[in-house]
């Protein structure tokens, strides 16, 4: 590893020194291709983010892919109904590693205003791992841009090797998660407990 001060000194002389990891992460974080799908009103905000006024292209994320095989990022934009949840999980499974998920809006986080409804999934993080949550109903495009920048920061910090190696590079980290099935009253299983870690409620 090169010393940071030496690196800065060289940079002043016009010599750019970098590491494989930095180059790799720089390339990845500036070319995040989202999967093109929207579920509800959050999708309108997502479209606005990609359009000219907010211009997601400034961050390298304008290439919305219609196929999960070419996508890096899944923006779960909207209410996930129980009917739709298996499809979302299957699409996530079909994305190649490394893959990231932004849970956009109150519905995707927890079910939002429909949380008490019989047909709405109470958060997509019950089945797939989520990297960035954006609160809001719906969140403004600026919030999605902020989430995008947070994701870029996360990608930038991922290590190629060593003890704190990025999860997706580890041999035994799963790339596919079990797809829930339609049960008699709910999805079976109601949550994937390997992924879903609800906060413990402390009662006084």
Partner 1 sequence: MTPSPYFFLVVFCGVAFFFPVMPLILAWLWRRFFQPPKPGPAKNATYECGVESLGEAQIQFQSQFYLYAIIFLIFDVESIFLIPFAVAFTGLPFGAFVAILIFLFLLLEGLVWAWGKGCLNWTK
Q: By the criterion CB under 8 A, which residues form the site for partner 1? A: 67-69, 86-88, 90-91, 93-94, 96-97, 160, 169-171, 174-176, 179
Shortest distance, position 142 Cβ to partner 1, whole Å? 29
| Closer residue to partner 1 in complex, CB, 170/197 | 170
Shortest distance, position 179 Cβ to partner 1, whole Å? 7
| Closer residue to partner 1 in complex, CB, 81/93 | 93
Residue 88 · residue 76 · CB < 8 Å: yes
Shortest distance, position 119 Cβ to partner 1, whole Å? 18
Phi, psi of 181 (to 5 degrees): -110, 160
Shortest distance, position 48 Cβ to partner 1, whole Å? 24
Distance CA 187, CA 56 (A): 35
Distance CA 7, CA 5 (A): 5
Distance CA 154, CA 171 (A): 20
DSSP summary character for residue 83: T
């Amino acid at each position: 590893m090169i010393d940071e001060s030496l690196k800065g000194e060289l940079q002043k002389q016009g010599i750019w020194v970098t590491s494989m990891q930095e180059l790799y992460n720089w390339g990845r974080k500036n070319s995040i291709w989202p999967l093109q799908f929207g579920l509800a009103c959050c999708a309108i905000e997502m479209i606005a983010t990609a359009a000219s006024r907010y211009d997601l292209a400034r961050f390298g994320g304008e290439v919305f892919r219609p196929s999960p095989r070419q996508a890096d990022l899944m923006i779960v934009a909207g209410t996930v109904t129980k009917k739709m949840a298996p499809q979302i999980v299957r699409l996530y499974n079909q994305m190649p590693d490394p893959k990231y998920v932004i849970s956009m809006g109150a519905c995707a986080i927890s079910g939002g205003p429909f949380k008490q409804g019989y047909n709405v999934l109470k958060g997509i993080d019950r089945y797939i791992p989520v990297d960035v949550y954006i609160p809001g109903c719906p969140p403004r495009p600026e919030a999605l841009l902020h989430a995008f920048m947070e994701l870029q920061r996360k990608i930038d910090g991922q290590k190629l090797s060593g003890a704190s190696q990025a999860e997706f590079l580890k041999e035994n980290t799963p790339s596919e998660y079990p797809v829930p099935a339609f049960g008699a009253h709910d999805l079976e299983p109601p949550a994937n407990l390997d992924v879903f870690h609800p906060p413990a409620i402390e009662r006084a």
